[in-house]
Amino acid sequence: MSKRSTQPIFWLLFGAGGMLSALIGWMLVFITGIAIPLGILLAPDLFSYQKVLAFHRHWAGAAFTFVVISLFLWHGAHRIFHSLHDLGVKAHAPSAWACYGIAMAGTLAAAGLLLSL
């Protein structure tokens, strides 16, 4: 049996993250970075410790934040990995470990932090 490529896994994560960020990414940035902090259209109270904690202690809230952080990281990692190749960095182990390593570390950190709440 021939050795199977790992690329489809990374491409799938890239595609899923790209689609999720294309659908709701800009709105998430507006909500968490502009609307709530500045109190535009949404109440600043939404970022009170109690509310954010309660949101993430519910399994659905934790799952939502986990999926957003993780898929955004895998999307970015895959794209940056291939763009580095375009810029002359060989698509070999060092740049692969750097890009996918950050995505993997971020995924594990997000899971650990959310489960500890």
Q: How far is C-alpha 117 from the chain's CA centre?
A: 19
C-beta of 47 vs 94, nearer to other proteins: 47
Q: Taking the complex as a whole, how short is the minimal distance between the CB of residue 105 and other proteins, in angstroms?
A: 10
How far is Cα 65 from Cα 69, in angstroms, rounded to an integer?
6
The answer to whether residues 17 and 73 touch, using CB atoms and an 8 Å cutoff, is yes
Q: Rule CB under 8 A: say whether 8 interacts with other proteins.
A: no
Kindly state whether residue 114 participates in binding other proteins, applying the rule CB under 8 A.
yes
Q: What is the DSSP letter of 43?
A: -
- Contact status, residue 78 vs residue 10, Cβ threshold 8 Å: yes
In whole angstroms, the minimum distance from the beta carbon of 25 to other proteins comes to: 4
Applying the rule CB under 8 A, the residues between 82 and 111 that interact with other proteins are 82-83, 86-88, 102, 106, 109-110
- Both ends of the chain: CA-CA distance in Å? 45
Binding residues for other proteins, rule CB under 8 A, total 53
Cα separation, 46 vs 53, in Å, equals 11
Chain contacts with other proteins (rule: CB under 8 A): 15, 17-19, 21-34, 37-38, 42-43, 45-47, 49, 52-53, 56, 65, 68-70, 72-73, 75-77, 79-80, 82-83, 86-88, 102, 106, 109-110, 113-114, 116-117
